[in-house]
Amino acid sequence: MNALYKDAAWQKSMQLKLDFNGMMKQFVGEHGLDPDELNKNKEMYDAAAASMAAKRAQMKWRELPYNQAEVVGRIKKLASKINKEYEAFVVLGIGGSALGPIAVQQALSHLRYNDLPKEKRGGPRFYVEDNIDPERMASLLDVIDVEKTIFNVITKSGGTSETMSQLLYITRLLKDKLGDGWTKHVIATTDEHKGNLIKIAKANGLETFFVPDGVGGRFSELCPVGLIAAAVCGIDIEELLEGAKYMDTLCSAAEPGKNPAYMAAALEVMAMQKGCNVGVIMPYADSLKYIADWYAQLWAESLGKKTDNSGNIVHTGQTPVKALGVTDQHSQVQLYTEGPFDKVITFIAVDRYRNDVTIPHSFDDIADVAFLSGHSFNELIKSEQLATEYAVTRSGHMNKTITLPEVNPFTIGELLCMFELQTAFAGELLNINAFDQPGVEEGKNATYAMLGKRGYDEKRAELKAAPAKMSEYIV
């Protein structure tokens, strides 16, 4: 564990940087932003910042780095127990209940964590089941022994159909094998007061953790939703929270020019107003690959809204697209350099990787290969990131770069907090509610009706009355 994460000088050395030169007309030409646009929007930015400050008490996720000392202690104690008694740890959840744990595990654990022997892993094998594909559940049971596995079922509402169906399936298996002992193999993470999962947890005496009021699923990684999985895998959750706290402090300034999250939001919203309806997130590190997945839900579900706060039909939002450097230089970058000017590309760079790999001499007689020898993978990936940034800029497509000094719990805490604040501030600029998801609820309600859930008769009737599909449109 890192003993320096509370040292002010070390924290400053780990500060993320946002470089948005590639967004500006001076660098990308006619499709870029004019500096005067930033200045003339000052009144709007001031109003959005004031609204963020006024609503802070409602944004409970912003307090997570400050108010969880007791629960962190509980989580660390539980993680130690799990590491001694179980061979596998499985998250049953979907959306924010799954994407956050996956992203942080990928970022901060060994990239081949589950393939390591236990003495090198330092924790049980880790799985997240975030889909209900029947083949997937069957395949999980081929690689775990349920009698040596603990399951963390996560649903804030306590009634998410996908998650509860998984719970029904797993508890039946556990009951058949272990009888009343099944309860030692299930942890419930849910709302403290409402929903079916808390009823089940109380009735059966399950180990239970709570998702705080005011913390929605996509903003929940820094509460027990994500902290339990991280701690079980040996990640320093106190350092993770300290990084988030540091970024929250950095982002206390109202002026975007002094606030990286607000500036990133302002740039994206201005780009959207110029027709950039696609936002590409492209990390240059395998460790950050699933940060892009987590961000995609955060950005899409928060900003994709039909109406604004005044009830006007706006159909706003920006489609997030995931890419991975350098992998997707060979699949997507052709589009980003020569395609339409409807995108903003956000690169995530890393200054210092956790390993150094030198490229040895082997074929010195072949000049087009030999030039690589003596360099390192570290130099190569950094050069490719800078070269792609240059190519995109030169082609006149807007882009910006977030740079992490290194990937560690502190900088990941910073990055998660920055993206959450960026999203909330963008919601204010767009005059929408960034914290609801009515479009998701519509799909859920239709599913409930199809499966015969009580109270959905009206929705069932609506579905039955829908126009029948026409055979001539099926090939």
Catalytic residue among 31, 110, 274, 444: 444
Backbone angles phi and psi of 189, in degrees to 5: -120, 110
Q: How many CB atoms lie within 10 A of CB 118?
A: 11
379-406 tens-digit pLDDT? 999 999 999 999 999 999 999 999 999 9
Active site (annotated) includes residue 375: no
Residue-level pLDDT at 39: 86
Quick check: 155 and 190 in contact, CB under 8 A?
yes
Count Cα atoms within 13 angstroms, Cβ side, for 188. 27
Q: Would you say the pTM of this structure is higher than 0.75?
A: yes
The full length of the chain comes to 475
For residues 158 and 191, the answer to whether their CB atoms sit within 8 Å is yes
> String of b and e for 344-365 (b: at least 16 CB within 10 Å)?
bbbbbbbeebeeeeeeeeeeee
Catalytic, 301? Answer yes
> Which position among 330, 464, 469, 472 bears the catalytic label?
330
What is the pLDDT tens value at each position of the chain, 475 positions in all?
A: 788 999 999 999 999 999 999 999 999 999 999 999 888 999 999 999 999 999 999 999 999 999 999 999 999 999 999 999 999 999 999 999 999 999 999 999 999 999 999 899 989 999 999 999 999 999 999 999 999 999 999 999 988 999 999 999 999 999 999 999 999 999 999 999 999 999 999 999 999 999 999 999 999 999 999 999 999 999 999 999 999 999 999 999 999 999 999 999 999 999 999 999 999 999 999 999 999 999 999 999 999 999 999 999 999 999 999 999 999 999 999 999 999 999 999 999 999 999 999 999 999 999 999 999 999 999 999 999 999 999 999 999 999 999 999 999 999 999 999 999 999 999 999 999 999 998 887 888 888 888 889 989 998 998 899 999 999 999 9
As a whole number, the mean pLDDT across the chain is 96
pLDDT in tens, 136-149: 999 999 999 999 99
Q: Which residues contact 120 (CB under 8 A, 6 or more apart)?
A: 110
Known active-site residue 343: no
| Termini Cα distance of the chain | 59
What is the distance between the alpha carbons of residues 251 and 249, in angstroms, rounded to a whole number?
5
Which among 129, 221, 242, 301 is annotated as catalytic? 301
pLDDT value of position 439? 85
